Amino acid sequence: MASLGIVIAFGIRLLLVLLFLPFSALDKILNFRGAVGQASQITASKALATVLILAGLTVEIVMSLGILTGIADRAAAFVLAGYCGVTALLWKQFWKPGDFWSGGRGRELFWDFLKNFALAGGFLLVTFGTTAGSVGAFFADPFASSRPYDTHATQQTGRTVSDQDKPKIPYWHLWTDAAGVSRHTRCAMTEFDKKSMSPPAAPQWQGRKTHDGATVFVTVQPVGWTGDWHENPKPQWIIPLSGRWFVEAMDGSRVEMGPGEISFGEDQNTQERDGRKGHFSGTVGDEPAVLMIVQYDTPPTIDAACRFK
């Protein structure tokens, strides 16, 4: 199913950019003079018309590749949405012919005008997501990837786990390497045994139990809160209950998490580099991040990613 999901996700994005890459871009390359001539409709300067076509060609190729690969895809989709809007306003001016009500050229341009903005709406779904809660992710980090081909997102809900298949629960591990640099690694807990929590209750999948001393509490990060570079006070699970938050490690990796996305903070004993030590974190979006913290009393591990199996 994971492979099918990736194929479908790629196919949807391909359909979204297909007009620009390869068709429109290829048309501009093979019929460059004609494209410049079309641009000359809005400017008398041939040099400026040439620059406009070259700029459009760059946008169509680079931004389409960004959407297909997932590299800064939110920003790429935002640029392409603007490109569609500008194209509609400059070349689909349905109000100019004056024959809109008689069904002439103006009516044809009107439908093209609307199609451009409809396509812009599709790109903006990539930029801002499909829910109100996902809008803040773009403003928090405009050049971040939406991770369109990440299959962990569906696995972590447990919906893909049957009665016989062992679950695979992903989590982020913020750990310290041998050089004292904090890093993020995507891990998964897979060691589960099927047994009753307390008979006669039906069996369920239970993970490995930890018997170390622990402290449990809830913390609330206000809207706009940021925590300057610091280490986790102890090895600890961070479990979002509501809202979203981000964590940036010393290696430059940045992870955003919300309800259902857990992480283990174990970045103790880092060595300060360029003003960075431990991690930098903060809230995402326009609501507080409510986090449950489970702190362990045991000492942290060093240079060992994916502590929990």
| Whether 206 and 284 share a structural domain | yes
- Confidence band of 73 (pLDDT split at 50, 70, 90): very high
Task: Kindly state the DSSP code that residue 279 receives in the 8-state scheme.
Answer: E
Last residue of a domain, one of 111, 140, 169: 140
Residue-level pLDDT at 169: 86
Tell me the pLDDT tens digit for each residue of 244-300: 999 999 999 999 999 989 999 999 999 999 999 999 999 998 899 999 999 999 999
| Whether 189 and 254 share a structural domain | yes
Give the residue among 279, 298, 288, 282 at the shortest CA–CA distance from 215.
298
| Whether 227 and 103 share a structural domain | no
pTM (two decimals)? 0.55
CA distance 17 to 80: 9
| Single-letter residue type at 35 | A
Q: Is residue 209 part of a domain?
A: yes
| Whether 243 and 179 share a structural domain | yes
Contact call for residues 174 and 187 (beta carbons, < 8 A): no
Last residue of a domain, one of 106, 140, 174: 140
Q: Is residue 290 part of a domain?
A: yes
| Whether 279 and 218 share a structural domain | yes
Q: How far is CA 15 from CA 69, 83, 123, in A?
A: 14, 17, 11
Residue-level pLDDT at 37: 92
Residue 152 has pLDDT above 70, yes or no: no
Cα torsion 291, 294, 295, 300 to 10°: value is -100
Last residue of a domain, one of 108, 140, 172: 140
Q: What percent of the chain has pLDDT over 70?
A: 94
Tell me the pLDDT tens digit for each residue of 280-293: 999 998 899 999 99
| Whether 164 and 129 share a structural domain | no
| Whether 177 and 51 share a structural domain | no
- Confidence band of 151 (pLDDT split at 50, 70, 90): low
Tell me the pLDDT tens digit for each residue of 220-231: 999 999 999 999
| Whether 49 and 164 share a structural domain | no
Contact call for residues 266 and 307 (beta carbons, < 8 A): yes
| Whether 7 and 113 share a structural domain | yes
Whole-number CA gyration radius for the chain: 25
Residue-level pLDDT at 160: 45
- Confidence band of 154 (pLDDT split at 50, 70, 90): very low
Q: Is residue 147 part of a domain?
A: no
- Confidence band of 3 (pLDDT split at 50, 70, 90): confident
| Whether 109 and 182 share a structural domain | no
| Whether 10 and 134 share a structural domain | yes
User: In degrees, to the nearest 5, what angle opens at C-alpha 234 toward C-alphas 230 and 239?
Assistant: 90
User: Which run of H or E residues covers position 35?
Assistant: helix 32-39
**If you average pLDDT over residues 152-171, what whole number do you get?**
59
| Whether 122 and 173 share a structural domain | no
Tell me the residue range of the domain where 268 lies: 160-296
Q: Is residue 244 part of a domain?
A: yes
| Number of compact structural domains in the chain | 2
Give the residue among 58, 64, 61 at the shortest CA–CA distance from 77.
64
Q: Is residue 301 part of a domain?
A: no
**CATH number for the domain including 235?**
2.60.120.10
Strand ranges inside 75-191, DSSP E: 169-176, 182-189
Q: Which two tokens stand for residue 97?
A: 């012919």
Q: Is residue 304 part of a domain?
A: no
Residue-level pLDDT at 293: 95
